[in-house]
Chains A and B, each alone.
Chain A
Amino acid sequence: VYQVFENVAKKYDVMNDSMTLGIHRVWKDILMHKMNPCPGTLLLDVAGGTGDIAFRFINYVRSVQQRQLQRKLQHHQNLSWQEIFESYQKDKFNSLGDSQVVVCDINREMLKVGKQKAQHLGYSEGLSWVLGNAEELPFDDDKFDVYTIAFGIRNVTRIDLALQEAYRVLKPGGRFLCLEFSHVSNPLLSRLYDLYSFQVIPVLGEVIAGDWKSYQYLVESIRQFPPQEELKAMIEDAGFFKVDYENLNFGIVAIHSGFKL
């Protein structure tokens, strides 16, 4: 799996756009809206090497913080311009409201790409990068408000261990969110999806990334991954409560959610 991602790391984003026709961006946006983080949230994004979820998280809490600030100022109609100015200055240094995201990935290449993107896009505060294994996380118990794993859990050898680790590092009340390819139950759509996956995607992989085999692996790993209900049961086994899932695009992708209570 490691070598697949070394090959794939640099072209990861381009391939995602091509394979999913850009829809993966929408799926990740939906995940963020479902999370609906408020400022001050501590997020652990696992297998999030290139930073897609992390950047969305930062954008989201920043805009929530902005709106809160605007609302606060609207209530102070009688402030002088000096006072309003000072209020803006004070909050400028707290644009994220102490929100933080730690990106953990087992692949150095993916993290490097993510770090470079962050620099390029101007993300600096509230963001850290750690090389680690989802099955054996280097984080202390009861630390994070939210744990996400987007398109990463299918590459984990022992999913049960990753789920146990997710449970361990989450605070009580914390939320587990998993965005992953899943199963299409509708037979017609399923056949079209298979056609696309096995005929088109490896070709795209060859044309764009010069790598047929890695993308064939990706497609096969998707088929072997447990379907919605089975993953839900595994998440419950790890100790999570209120576990449910939301199908996106007829089950091509699903978001599973659970809480540590």
Chain B
Amino acid sequence: GQGSGSARPQPLEPSLLRFLVCPLSKRPLRYEEATNELINEELGIAYPIVDGIPNMVPEAARRTQEKPPAEGSEQP
């Protein structure tokens, strides 16, 4: 067994991206390597990937924008 710390986040199994969608809107997600998250651009939320396992429960998602998307906030 590996006793390594979580210095480097485990990557997501690439084949999963074929099936995975946002559980709320059922719309496609974008994998963001920098933060190791799955982003739903439309709703402005991001699902975390912990130990290589994507956490696709809505409660776990964080908002990626300060203001709601409808107000047209600018994000890089």
Residues of A within 8 A of B (CB): 100, 102, 106, 108, 111-112, 115-116, 119-120, 128-133, 136-141, 143-144
Contact = CB atoms under 8 A, between A and B. Distances in A.
Contacts of B20: 130, 138-140
Interface of B: 1, 13, 15-16, 18-24, 26, 28, 47, 50-58, 60
B55 to A, nearest CB: 4
B55 A116 contact: no
Contact of B26 (A116, A130, A141, A144): A141
B53 A108 contact: yes
Contact of A115 (B22, B53, B55): B53
Given A106-B57, A112-B51, A116-B1, A133 B19 contact: no
Contacts of A111: 53
13 contacts: A108-B53, A108-B55, A115-B51, A115-B52, A119-B1, A131-B55, A131-B60, A132-B56, A136-B24, A136-B57, A140-B19, A140-B26, A143-B18
B23 A143 contact: no
B15, B24, B53: which has the most chain A beta carbons within 10 Å?
Answer: B53
Nearest to B14: A128
B4 to A, nearest CB: 13
Nearest to B16: A128
